[in-house]
């Protein structure tokens, strides 16, 4: 079998594997989540980052592909994800990040591409500040990673989706909560997954890009939303 056919065969098998072994993949995702390694022992250049490494790899591919001029992140935590994205932008050679959190911390890493904004992500002044920053930017990505309750995420989606440029993404983080497939936070209740499905019922400008879940281990099932129009 030639190389091209072999590659096609592998691709088909990978796809089938994804479809047929959903139970296995869900079980592994739950197991990985329950280790809490992502919460306590995952760092980017010394700063804690609350992400799954396979999602960070997907981010890397997206940054190379989309070359964002601006990334808006809600939910800074310790600044690990902002620093990670700033380093990607250093490699790409362009871009800046606004990261928004209700809490300001001494541990926030300094980087010339990062602007920290202390306020609620849904405050009218925050939205006005973001709208000002977006003006004139061609490639804009939005990452929602703050309060993961359904109502808050839905409100963020309604407020922030207009900032995403066509072809770029609205990433809804932690859609794995509330049994999707993570059950360990039983008291969480409806979260990002429920918000994004409600949002998509009324908005056809965004489509779920399942290919961004190709590594099978993700905190963001259905959470990579591509702006298609
Ligand atoms: C999951 S953490 C962010 C993780 C971070 N992006 C990372 O990957 O390391 C969620 C953060 O959202 C913040 N947060 C909660 N409610 C918020 C709100 N209404 N507006 C902005 N940030 C909020 C919390 O203070 C917390 O730092």
Q: Which of 101, 103, 114, 153 to mutate to test the pocket of ligand 1 (most atoms within 8 A of CB)?
A: 101
Does residue 181 have a cis bond before it (omega within 30 degrees)?
Answer: yes
Q: Could you tell me the pTM of the whole model?
A: 0.93
Structural domains for the chain: 3-227 (3.40.50.150)
pLDDT over threshold 90, residue 7: no
The pLDDT score that the predictor gives to residue 187 is: 75
pLDDT over threshold 50, residue 62: yes
The pLDDT score that the predictor gives to residue 183 is: 86
The alpha carbon of 16 and the centre of ligand 1 are apart by a number of angstroms equal to: 36
pLDDT over threshold 70, residue 56: yes
The alpha carbon of 151 and the centre of ligand 1 are apart by a number of angstroms equal to: 15
Q: Which of 72, 75, 97, 130 to mutate to test the pocket of ligand 1 (most atoms within 8 A of CB)?
A: 75
Q: Is 200 in the pocket of ligand 1 (CB under 6 A)?
A: no
The alpha carbon of 145 and the centre of ligand 1 are apart by a number of angstroms equal to: 6
Confidence of residue 22 (pLDDT cuts 50, 70, 90): confident
Q: How far apart are CA 63 and CA 88, in angstroms?
A: 7
Q: Is 146 in the pocket of ligand 1 (CB under 6 A)?
A: yes
Q: Is 175 in the pocket of ligand 1 (CB under 6 A)?
A: no
The alpha carbon of 147 and the centre of ligand 1 are apart by a number of angstroms equal to: 6
Q: Is 68 in the pocket of ligand 1 (CB under 6 A)?
A: no
The pLDDT score that the predictor gives to residue 14 is: 55
pLDDT over threshold 60, residue 201: yes
Atom 14 (ligand 1) nearest CA: 146
Q: Cβ distance 71 to 85 under 8 Å? A: yes
Q: Which of 40, 58, 76, 129 to mutate to test the pocket of ligand 1 (most atoms within 8 A of CB)?
A: 76
Average pLDDT over residues 41-54: 98
Q: Is 163 in the pocket of ligand 1 (CB under 6 A)?
A: no
The pLDDT score that the predictor gives to residue 4 is: 46
Q: Cβ distance 118 to 146 under 8 Å? A: no
Q: What is the largest CA-CA distance in the chain?
A: 61
């Amino acid at each position: 079998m030639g190389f091209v056919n072999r590659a096609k065969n592998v691709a088909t098998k990978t796809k089938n594997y994804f479809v047929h072994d959903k139970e296995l993949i869900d079980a592994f995702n739950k197991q990985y989540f329950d280790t809490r390694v992502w919460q306590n022992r995952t760092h980017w250049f010394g700063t804690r980052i609350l992400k799954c490494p396979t999602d960070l790899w997907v981010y890397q591919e997206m940054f190379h592909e989309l070359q964002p001029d601006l990334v808006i992140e809600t939910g800074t935590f310790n600044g690990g994800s902002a620093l990670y994205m700033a380093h990607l932008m250093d490699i790409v050679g362009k871009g800046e990040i606004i990261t928004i959190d209700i809490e300001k911390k001494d541990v926030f890493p300094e980087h010339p591409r990062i602007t920290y904004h202390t306020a609620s992500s849904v405050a009218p002044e925050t939205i006005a500040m973001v709208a000002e920053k977006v003006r004139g930017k061609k490639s804009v990505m939005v990452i929602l990673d703050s309060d993961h309750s359904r109502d808050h995420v839905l409100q963020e989606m309604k407020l922030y989706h207009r900032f995403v440029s066509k072809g770029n993404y609205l990433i809804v983080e932690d859609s794995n909560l509330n049994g999707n497939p993570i059950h360990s936070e039983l008291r969480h209740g409806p979260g990002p997954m429920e918000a994004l499905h409600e949002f998509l019922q009324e908005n056809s400008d965004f489509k779920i890009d399942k290919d961004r879940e190709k590594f099978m281990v993700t905190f963001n099932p259905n959470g990579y939303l591509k702006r298609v129009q």
